[in-house]
Amino acid sequence: MHRACDRDNLAGASLVADESLAPSANQPAPWIQVYTSKNFQWNQYDLPIRSLPPALDGFRILHLTDIHLRPTWRGVYDELFARIDHDPPDIILFSGDVIEHQFNHRPTLPIAQRFLQGLHSRLGTWVTLGNHDGDLLGPHIEPFGARFINGRFVRLEDRGRDNATIELIGVPGVARADAADGLLRRLPPREPNSLRIALSHFPDTLDELLSPLAQSDIILSGHTHGGQICLPGGAPIIRHTALPRKYVTGIHRFGDTWMVIGRGFGFATWQIRLFCPAEVIELNLRRKD
């Protein structure tokens, strides 16, 4: 049975963040966004990883989450593409909610295809699903030019970086309970001298992904939108998670594992963001001995 993180669990010493990380570079962003993510915030972090393979020092990850595409193309997507193409990352990892309307997804499919095909990186775009995607979007991901890892484990050898091993865990994310499908128990042993990253739409899977079964260096998550509608200073009115309020967004270290919770790029339900600007996260990995 799935056991979501709750307040009591996170109050325990083993699940209290040892460190929270501030961006090494960000940019001013509007206090309100309506119908568009224009002037989104691009937050860059230098992420120290213990025993990172030397060949992956400086490896750059672009984390996208919660785009919530609708049947209308927005000019801000072209702005995002231009920013990415100016200095493409090594890999793009997308932690779910590609689209907004899970029960009427067909009108959005051409937009989803155009969006996924517009994302460029050296090792491609890897996508796991969120609750708004439903089960029907999955078969379209790979025909649209991305790689589908919802409920899958993938091991990559990066030929551009001395064949360094990168392991990706795509935690199933259409529903919170999907994380209990046994994927973590089926994972192969971690390769020596590798980097392991878990993509989980729901941050509530934190306790499972901190278990010895996962052995993740990085967990990439979303769903919360950082609250989407917040009080001045970014305090969320609604958390959209069982985690304490401090874990609604940001980058937090638990032992040797970094939890990255993105605010997302789009809008869920109401197309407004208040004191919680749309966000793209760029991670620059650094070796920490």
pLDDT interval class at 201 (50, 70, 90): very high
- In this structure, is residue 205 part of a structural domain? yes
As a whole number, the mean pLDDT across the chain is 92
pLDDT interval class at 15 (50, 70, 90): low
DSSP 33-94: EES--TT-EEEEEEEEEET--GGGTT-EEEEE----B-SS--HHHHHHHHHHHHS--SEEEE
pTM assigned to the model? 0.93
pLDDT interval class at 152 (50, 70, 90): very high
Residue appearing with tokens 């128990």: 185
Mean pLDDT to the nearest integer, 245-261 = 94
- In this structure, is residue 259 part of a structural domain? yes
Count Cβ atoms below 10 Å from residue 11 Cβ, excluding itself. Answer: 10
Per mean pLDDT, which range of 4-13, 190-199, 269-278 is the poorest?
4-13
Compute CA distances 103 → 66, 151, 169, 196, whole Å: 17, 21, 26, 33
Its domain, for residue 35, covers 7-288
- In this structure, is residue 2 part of a structural domain? no
**27 secondary structure, DSSP code:** -
Phi, psi (rounded to 5 degrees) for 17: -60, 135
Q: How far apart are CA 287 and CA 191, in angstroms?
A: 17
Question: How confident is the model over 90-111, as pLDDT tens digits?
Answer: 999 999 999 999 888 899 999 9
- In this structure, is residue 44 part of a structural domain? yes
Question: How confident is the model over 27-36, as pLDDT tens digits?
Answer: 788 999 999 9
Burial status of residue 126 (CB atoms within 10 A of its CB: 0-12, 13-18, 19 or more)? buried
Per mean pLDDT, which range of 26-30, 157-161, 210-214 is the poorest?
26-30
Query: Total domain count for the chain?
Result: 1
- In this structure, is residue 226 part of a structural domain? yes
Look up the CATH number of the domain holding residue 125: 3.60.21.10
- In this structure, is residue 1 part of a structural domain? no
Phi, psi (rounded to 5 degrees) for 257: -110, 130
Residue 190 has pLDDT above 90, yes or no: yes
Phi, psi (rounded to 5 degrees) for 85: -65, -25
- In this structure, is residue 45 part of a structural domain? yes
